[in-house]
Amino acid sequence: SQELEQSPQSLIVQEGKNLTINCTSSKTLYGLYWYKQKYGEGLIFLMMLQKGGEEKSHEKITAKLDEKKQQSSLHITASQPSHAGIYLCGADMDAGGTSYGKLTFGQGTILTVHP
Amino acid sequence: EAGVVQSPRYKIIEKKQPVAFWCNPISGHNTLYWYRQNLGQGPELLIRYENEEAVDDSQLPKDRFSAERLKGVDSTLKIQPAELGDSAVYLCASSFEGLAGAGELFFGEGSRLTVL
């Protein structure tokens, strides 16, 4: 089973709609990373969250890490076709946060935005 | 500034043939990672280097996979012989790791391997 579960697995929205992608772990997360990937390309870093309750925003994308540090959400406001792609959460799941880049990834969420 | 460069982008081989992938990390990044991404899945770490030393290769299938990072800069990942199940995208990433821990991972565009 996946250590990090993302939901939904895929999402189709109309341009302008808001959407949320969730990333859930059964273990405490010591660092949570959100990446975006376009098909056939590498991963592009979006945001990193480390503290429980932390929230970060970049343009129309907001990510939060819950207080218990076991779930993160990525919210896109007023989606655009340029937001389409695969969103991946990656986490440092090593106690003490010493895994130094040994990120465990979720399976990804495929986002399609129709104009 | 140039990003992480990988080659080849695509490779199609028959099973039992050897294959090699090359990665040039971002200048100054001391840590280099090889990840494998199967279709519809997230990347999985194969090996991590700090400079020229492989500090985590626990997920590398050592019977057929090998990697090296001579001089602590660019790296090669080799598969010999390749099997059908090795078809995947092989991603290289790099970061600068200092006293504060690892920084952001920068990924290359990947090398897509198809084994027939």
Report the DSSP pairing between strands A32-37 and A85-91: antiparallel
Interface of B with A (CB under 8 A): 4, 31, 33, 40-45, 48, 56, 91, 93, 95, 97, 101-102, 104-110, 112
| E strand spans, chain A | 4-7, 10-14, 19-25, 32-37, 43-49, 55-58, 61-65, 71-76, 85-91, 104-105, 109-114
Secondary structure (DSSP) of B34-46? EEEE-TTS--EEE
**Number of C-alpha atoms within 13 angstroms, CB side, residue B25?**
28
pLDDT band at B105 (very low <50, low <70, confident <90, very high): confident
Residues of A in contact with B42 (CB under 8 A): 4, 88, 90, 104-108
Q: Tell me phi and psi for residue B85, to 5 degrees.
A: -70, -5
Of A33, A102, A107, the CB nearest to B40: A107
- DSSP one-letter code for B84: G
Total number of domains constituting chain B: 1
Domains of chain A: 4-114 (2.60.40.10)
The pLDDT value recorded for residue B103 is 64
CA distance B18 to chain A (A): 22
- CATH number of residue B82's parent domain: 2.60.40.10
* Mutation to test the B interface, candidates A94, A103, A107, A110, most B Cβ within 10 Å: A103
Q: Using the predicted structure, report yes or no on whether residue A83 has a pLDDT greater than 70.
A: yes
* pLDDT for position B101: 56
CB-CB under 8 Å, A42 with B108:
yes
| Residue B11 pLDDT | 97
Domain containing residue B61: 5-97+105-115
Question: Exposed (0-12), middle (13-18) or buried (19+): which is B75, by Cβ within 10 Å?
Answer: buried
For A102, the closest chain B residue by CA position comes to B45
* Cβ contact B101–A100 (<8 Å): yes
Backbone torsions φ then ψ of B76, nearest 5 degrees? -125, 145
Q: Minimal Cα–Cα distance from A79 to chain B, Å?
A: 23
pLDDT of residue A55: 93
- Alpha carbon distance B96, B71 (integer Å): 16
The values of phi and psi at residue B71, to 5°, are 65, 10
Average model confidence (pLDDT) across chain A = 89
